[in-house]
Amino acid sequence: MLAPIVVPRRFEGPPGAAHGGIVAAYLDEVLAGAAVNHSGQLYVTGELSVRYVKGTPIERPLLGRGRAVRDSGKYLDLEAVIEDWGTQEVVARATGRFFPIRSDARG
C-alpha cells in the first residue's frame, strides 16, 4: 500500500520537522490502509511501535509504504515506513498488530 503525505507546517515539532505524534498518526493510517488492502476488512490498532529514523520534513512530499507481514487469522502484523519522496530516505518506520472489526461488535 502506498500513500502520498505532506505534513503541514502547523504540525511542526522540532524546527523544520514534524511533531512525533503526527508522524505516528500517519504511520498508523498507513498500517491500517495496508491491513484493508491485504484483506478488504476494517481493522483497529492493537499495538503500534514507531522508530524515528531522522526528522520528518514538513511541507515536502513524503511517501508512506505499508504491508502485511503475518496474518494469524485473529490479527495482522504489519510494517510501514515514511520516506522522503525526493531522496527516498526512510525518515520513520513502524510495526503494528491490528485486529479485525467484527460485524457483531458493539461500540
For the residues of 40-96, what is the DSSP string, one character each?
S--EEEEEEEEEE-SPPBSSSEEEEEEEEEEE-SS-EEEEEEEEETTT--EEEEEEE
In a domain, 52, yes or no: yes
Query: By residue range, what is the domain housing residue 73?
Result: 2-100
In a domain, 50, yes or no: yes
Here the CATH number for the domain that contains residue 45 is 3.10.129.10
Q: Is the pLDDT of residue 97 over 90?
A: yes
In a domain, 84, yes or no: yes
Structural domain total, the chain: 1
For residues 82-90, give the mean pLDDT: 96
In a domain, 106, yes or no: no
For residues 67-84, give the mean pLDDT: 97
Interval 24-38: pLDDT, tens: 999 999 999 999 999
In a domain, 105, yes or no: no
> What is residue 102's predicted lDDT score, i.e. its pLDDT?
80
Q: Is the pLDDT of residue 51 over 70?
A: yes
Q: Is the pLDDT of residue 71 over 90?
A: yes
